[in-house]
Structures are given as structure tokens and as C-alpha cells.
Amino acid sequence: MTTATIDEATKVALNNLPEEGNGYAFTHDILWYGIDAIVHFYLMTKAKEISEEIVENFMRKYDVNFDESLFSVGLEGIKRAGVFIPQLKKGRIYLFSLDYRAKLLFTDEYSYSGELLKRIWILSDLGDSRLIELGIKCGKDMWRNSLKTYEMTKDGKDHKGRDMYGPVPSEVQVLTEKLISYYSTLILELTPSE
């Protein structure tokens, strides 16, 4: 259980954002990759709690699928579990897709991620505690890297100071800071102390 909260006014404002004009850094680094990172982290954290007897319940609750070598989860199950996700974020999250290399470059620090991103996930992997722990680490690392990229580019410039896609509007930045705080608190509260 978590006490991470986001106020109703912020939820409404985030849910009422238009599909366009929110700034590349918000759309790309927070709405796309950032929330994907949160879903990875959250689902793997919850997978730690399952036993063989309740795998089917877990799969139904979170709408988990293993189809055509893709491991995916629907957002509605995550939302029903109490995690706020803005309405602009739609569809399924394909966990450990090779697309996430953008947030987990194959450096020594993230060398573990290659195993997760190249793996053809199957149902029995949810019972592999080593893979689940790596999945939790991966979600946290993706979130941290999404935040770094957002901070570097929210003013509309790339890491070298060149103009990109325009800045994140100030009102969206305020909402984004609240969303970041909410998700960061969620991660802190769901991460066991060592």
C-alpha cells in the first residue's frame, strides 16, 4: 500500500490537457517513457507478491498478456489498482520492448537491461525472482533517466543547447512537477528498504 497522492485539481488538469502543444519533453519523456517506466516498476513490484496459485488472478487484474513473444499490460488494471495515469496515456505498455534502449543505453551501468530487453518473456518468468528484481531495477532506472532527459529538454533545447521542439508550457511544467513528485513518491514507498 502506498500513501502517494496527487490532488484532484491536478488530476483534472492533467486529464484535460490537449493532445498537442504540451511540449516535447512532457510528451516524450514523462507521458511516454516516464509512465512506461512507472508501469514496469509497479507491475514487477506486484509480481514479487504472486505465487503460482494466483498467477491467473494477477494476469486478469493487470490485463497481462504474453502474445507473439510480446509481454504487455493494459493501463486500466494499473489505474484500477489506484495508480493515477493521465488520460492522454492510452493503450497497452509493451514491457521490456527494445524501444526502451533509448532510456537504458547499453553502458556498463545498464548492462543488465540487455537480458530483459532481448528476452522473449513467458508466463513462468513471473515466478523468477531474479528477473523480477531486475525488472524492478529497470523500471526505476528508466524513470530516473526519463526525469534527467525531461529536465535537460523542458526548455525546448537539446543537451547541447540547440533549439528542439519548443519548451514545455509553464502551466504544463507545474502539472508535470506534481506528477513527477507523485510517481517518485510511489517508487520510494514501494521500494523495500535495504
Q: Is residue 3 part of a domain?
A: no
Q: What percent of the chain has pLDDT over 70?
A: 94
Domain count along the chain = 1
Q: Is residue 92 part of a domain?
A: yes
The SS3 of residue 150 is helix
Q: Could you tell me the CA-to-CA distances from 120 to 63, 94, 99 in Å, in that order?
A: 18, 12, 14
Lowest mean pLDDT across 79-83, 117-121, 139-143, 157-161: 157-161
The SS3 of residue 50 is coil
**Residue 177's domain spans which residues?**
8-190
* pLDDT mean over 30-52: 90
Give the pLDDT score at 154.
93
Q: Is residue 52 part of a domain?
A: yes
Give the pLDDT score at 105.
64
Q: Is residue 150 part of a domain?
A: yes
What is the 8-class DSSP label of residue 163? Answer: B
Give the pLDDT score at 193.
67
Residue 111: pLDDT band (50, 70, 90) is: confident
Q: What percent of the chain has pLDDT over 90?
A: 59
Residue 22 has pLDDT above 80, yes or no: yes
* pLDDT mean over 118-146: 91
Residue 40 has pLDDT above 90, yes or no: yes
Q: Residue type at 161? A: G
How far apart CA 193 and CA 190 sit, in angstroms, is 9
Q: Is residue 89 part of a domain?
A: yes
Q: Is residue 1 part of a domain?
A: no
Residue 53: pLDDT band (50, 70, 90) is: low
Give the pLDDT score at 106.
55
Give the pLDDT score at 164.
80
How far apart CA 50 and CA 48 sit, in angstroms, is 6
Q: Is residue 36 part of a domain?
A: yes
Q: Is residue 119 part of a domain?
A: yes
Q: What is the pLDDT of residues 113-131, one digit of tens each?
A: 888 988 999 888 998 999 9
